[in-house]
Structure 1
Amino acid sequence: MSENRDLPTDLGLLKIIERYLVLQLGAVRRQITSVGGTPSDARGGVSEVGRPRPAARAPEWLIQLGIDGERRPVVVHRGGCAAARRATVVPASRRDALEALAAGVESCYACRPDRELQVD
Structure 2
Amino acid sequence: MSDTPSRLELLYFARRVVVQQVEASLAQLNRWIAIEEEREAARQRAAERRPKPPEWLIQRGIGAGSPPVQVHRGGCDMAQGVRVKEITEDQARRALYEHVEACSFCNPDTALRVIPE
Q: TM-score range by the shorter chain?
A: 0.5 to 0.7
In the TM superposition, 1:63-82 aligns within 5 A as 63-82=58-77
1:99 and 2:68 aligned: no
Which residue does the alignment assign to 2:84? 89
1:84 match: secondary structure = coil
Matched, 1:62 2:62: no
Work out the CA distance in 2 between the residues paired with 1:58 and 1:94. 14
Q: CA deviation at 1:87?
A: 5.4
Amino acid in the other structure paired with 2:111:
E
2 CA distance for matches of 1:54 and 1:71? Answer: 34
Q: Distance in 1 between matches of 2:52 and 2:90?
A: 18
Q: Report the number of matched residues.
A: 70
Structure 1 ranges of 4+ moved more than 4 A: none
3-state DSSP of counterpart to 2:86: strand
Largest Rg, 1 or 2: 2
* Other-structure match for 1:108: 103
SS of 1:90's equivalent? strand
- Any gaps of 5 or more consecutive residues in structure 2? 1-44
Q: Which runs of 5+ in 1 are unaligned?
A: 1-50
Compare the two structures and name the one with the higher helix fraction. Answer: 2
What one-letter code is carried by the residue in structure 1 that aligns with 2:110?
Answer: R
Distance 1:62 1:118, change over 3 A: same
Identity %: 43
